Structure 1
Amino acid sequence: MRTAAPPPIALTHDTVSTCLGHGLAAALDALRHTRSGLRREGFDLFDLPAWIGAVPDVDATRLPQALRHYDCRNNRLAELGLLQDGFASAVQQAAARLGPHRVGVFIGTSTSGILQTERAYRERDASGALPATFHYAETHNPYSVTAYVRERLGLRGPAYTISSACSSSAKVFATAQRLLACGVIDAAVVGGVDSLCLTTLYGFNSLQLMSSDPCRPFDAQRKGLSIGEAAAFALLERPAEPVAPDTVLLLGAGESSDAHHMSSPHPDGLGARLAMQQALAQAGLRPADIDYINLHGTATSSNDAAEGRAVAALFGSATPCSSTKGATGHTLGAAGAVEAAFCAIALRHGFMPGSAGTQTLDPAIAGAGALDYLLQPRAQAPRRVLSNSFGFGGTNCSLVFGLGACA
Structure 2
Amino acid sequence: MPLRLTAYTLASALGAGLAANLDALRAQRSGLVRKQWETTTLDTCIGEVAGLDDFRLRDDLAAFDCRNNRLAQRALECDDFSARVREAIARYGDTRIGVFLGTSTAGILSSKIAFRQRDTATGTWPGDLDYRRTHNSYSVGDFVRSYFGLHGPAWVVSTACSSSAKVFGDAQRMMACGLIDAAIVGGIDSLCLTTLYGFNSLQLVSRNACKPYDEFRDGISIGEGGAFVLLEGGAPAAGEIVVAGIGESSDAHHMSAPHPEGLGARAAMQAALDMAGLQPADIDYINLHGTSTPSNDAAEDKGVTALFGTGPATRFHAGRCRHHAAGFAPALQLPSGQS
Give the shorter-chain TM-score range.
over 0.9
- The yes-or-no answer on 1:17 pairing with 2:17 is no
Letter in 2 for 1:175: D
User: TM-score normalised to the size of structure 1?
Assistant: 0.81
SS at match of 1:321: strand
Match of 1:331? 321
Q: Deviations over 1:364-403 (max 9, x none)?
A: xxxxxxxxxxxxxxxxxxxxxxxxx14xxxxx21010013
After TM superposition, the structure 1 = structure 2 runs for residues 145-160 of structure 1, keeping only pairs within 5 Å, are 145-160=140-155
The structural deviation recorded for 1:259 is 2.0
User: 2:299 aligned with 1:299, yes or no?
Assistant: no
Q: C-alpha deviations, 1:203-233, integer Å up to 9, x for none?
A: 0000011000000000001110001100100
CA distance in 2, matches of 1:226, 1:404: 33
Poorly superposed stretches of 4+, deviation over 6 Å:
none
**Alignment RMSD (CA, Å):** 1.2
**Structure 1 CA distance, aligned partners of 2:218 and 2:145?**
39
User: Which residue in the other structure is 2:71 paired with?
Assistant: 77
Match of 2:44 in 1: 50
Please, which runs of 5 or more residues in structure 2 have no aligned partner? none
TM-score normalised by structure 2 residue count: 0.97
Aligned to 1:220: 215
Q: CA deviation at 1:35?
A: 1.9
Q: 1:251 aligns with which of 222, 241, 244?
A: 244
| Residues 186-205 of structure 1 aligned to structure 2 (within 5 Å) | 186-205=181-200
Equivalent residues in 2 for 1:72-151, closer than 5 Å: 72-125=66-119, 126-151=121-146
2:282 to 274, 282, 289: 289
Q: How many residues align?
A: 336
Q: What code does the residue aligned with 2:74 have?
A: L
How far the C-alpha of 1:404 sits from its partner, in A, is 5.1
> 1:165-223 CA distances to partner (integer Å, 9 max, x unpaired)?
01000000111011111111000000100001000000000001100000000000111
Residue number among 127, 149, 160 corresponding to 1:165 in the alignment: 160
Alpha-carbon separation, structure 1, partners of 2:49 and 2:172: 29
Contact (CA 8 Å) 1:254, 1:276: kept in 2 or not?
yes
The code of the aligned residue for 1:185 comes to I
Deviations 1:118-144, CA, capped at 9 Å, x for gaps: 101000112111100001111000000
Given that residues 58 and 76 in structure 1 are in contact (C-alpha distance below 8 angstroms), is that contact kept between their aligned partners in structure 2? yes
**The one of 173, 178, 184 aligned to 2:179:** 184
Gaps of 5+ in 1: 1-6, 337-388, 391-395
CA distance in 2 between counterparts of 1:298 and 1:246 reads: 32
SS at match of 2:314: strand
Please state how far the C-alpha of 1:115 moved relative to its aligned partner: 0.3
Q: Percent same amino acid among aligned pairs?
A: 55
- Choose which of 162, 169, 172 in structure 2 pairs with 1:174: 169
Show the counterpart of 1:403: 334
Cα offset, 1:8, TM superposition? 0.4
Q: Is the 8 A contact 1:61 1:79 kept in 2?
A: no
1:55 match: secondary structure: coil
One-letter identity of the residue aligned with 1:217: P
In 1, distance between residues paired with 2:321 and 2:64? 21
Paired letter, 2:263: L
Distance 2:218 2:336 in 1: 41
> SS at 1:222's partner residue?
coil
Please say if residues 244 and 404 of structure 1, whose CA atoms lie closer than 8 Å, have aligned partners that are also in contact: no
Q: Partners in 2 of 1:203 and 1:252 — Cα distance? A: 34
Shift of 1:405: 5.4
The CA deviation at 1:100 is 0.6
Which residue type is aligned with residue 275 of structure 1? Answer: A
| Partner Cα separation in structure 2 for residue 237 and residue 404 of structure 1 | 17
